Amino acid sequence: MTDNSDGSDPADEEFPIGDGTASTEAEVTCPYCGEITEIALDPGSGNEQEYVEDCPVCCRPWQVMVNYRGDGSASVELTALDEESDE
């Protein structure tokens, strides 16, 4: 265990996107309460992801859409799930 000091390990396949520079977190603004918060991303789940996550501040549900670009940076969009039911 003395070599491998130059970091060029050919078996480094942990990130499917780019070369290990994929974003693992993103700063988002809650569409309900307006709080800026950081959410964790999972680059291993694919280039395009869509899931529901609750705001850690006001606990209301977001529809989260994540798109990874070619350079591994993530574009994150939040939609308020409640908006569809306008009474």
The greatest distance separating any two alpha carbons of the chain, rounded to the nearest whole angstrom, comes to 66
CB-based burial, 9-18: b 16+ in 10 Å, e otherwise: eeeeeeeebe
Is there binding between residue 57 and Zn ion (CB under 5 A)? yes
**Residue closer to Zn ion, measured from CB, 41 or 55:** 55
Lay out the site mask for Zn ion across 21-50 (x = CB under 5 A, - = otherwise). ---------x-xx-----------------
> Are the CB atoms for 78 and 49 separated by under 8 Å?
no
**Residue closer to Zn ion, measured from CB, 55 or 64:** 55
- Rounded to whole angstroms, the Cα distance separating 79 from 65 reads 8
Sole binder of Zn ion in the list 17, 22, 55, 74 (CB under 5 A): 55
Binding site for Zn ion (CB under 5 A): 30, 32-33, 55, 57-58
